[in-house]
Chains A and B, each alone.
Chain A
Amino acid sequence: MLNRRSRPVFLNLLQIRFPVTAVASILHRISGVLMFLFIPVSVYFLGKSLQSNQHFQETLAQLGTPIGRAVLILMAWALLHHLFAGIRYFLIDLEWVISRRGANVSAWVVISSAVVVVALVALGVCT
């Protein structure tokens, strides 16, 4: 095997063309890390909402602010993308989508359906 250091390395993020499967994959990671960071926030608000009626109303008010809504919509996207991409990985593990075309099409389906469902939910909640 050649010396590892002699292999060409090309990591210019602005020039690498990411295939759609790579985009679905990196979004799977980003959404996972976002939800990881959200764990303490969710425990905090769950605890607060259960303390008393007054705390419950306060929690609703805080989550209903523009920032609260924006974070909830971001988390809804993260959950849906992570969930859809996770189901796709299950199907890949079961060797159901292993053709290149199948992998590309399913990656497009995952990315777009997460965005579409979040948009529909956000519209439904805000109207």
Chain B
Amino acid sequence: MSRRVQGLRSWLWQRISALYLLVYVLFVTVSLFFNWPDDYDSWYQWVTGPVNSIALFTFFLMLTIHAWIGIRDVVMDYVHPLAVRASVLMLVGLGLLFCLIWLSRVLVLAYLR
């Protein structure tokens, strides 16, 4: 379990991000339940509203951190050859980073419309 001691910071971040993800999912569920966007305009307004878009970006930022720690732990449990493990981890990290930048682009483009 020595990795756990080394990974105390990861352990903490996993829980901090989890709390944000939990609160965000509850917020979105309640928000959509009371104000279901059934056409393009209301959907656009909902996503690009100041509070919602910041909360959405923060959600993806926290999701990136949470997914990185989680997938890294799974990879380290099942992929043992060092070269393969390093390659898989690099692909996962680059993929997550790509998705975060892509999401930022989506939000910026939506704002500029």
Contacts and interface: CB of A to CB of B under 8 A. Distances in A.
Contact of A43 (B71, B103, B113): B103
**Main SS at interface, chain B:** helix
A53 B70 contact: no
A49 interface: yes
Interface string A39-83: 110010011011011001100000000000000000000010001
Nearest to B64: A39
Interface in A70-121: 79, 83, 86-87, 90, 93
A57 B47 CA distance: 16
A33 B74 contact: yes
Interface string B35-46: 000011101100
Contacts of A46: 47, 103, 106
A48 to B, nearest CB: 9
Interface stretch (B2-10, B82-90, B94-102): B94-102
A86 B18 contact: yes
A63 B76 CA distance: 34
Interface residues of B, number: 28
A99 B21 CA distance: 28
A87 B99 contact: no
B40 A56 contact: yes
Interface string B41-64: 101100110000000000010010
B55 to A, nearest CB: 14
B25 interface: yes
A49 B70 CA distance: 29
Contact of A36 (B67, B98, B109): B67
B99 A33 contact: no
B22 A83 contact: yes
Contacts of B109: 47, 50
Interface of A: 29, 32-33, 35-36, 39-40, 43, 46-47, 49-50, 52-53, 56-57, 79, 83, 86-87, 90, 93
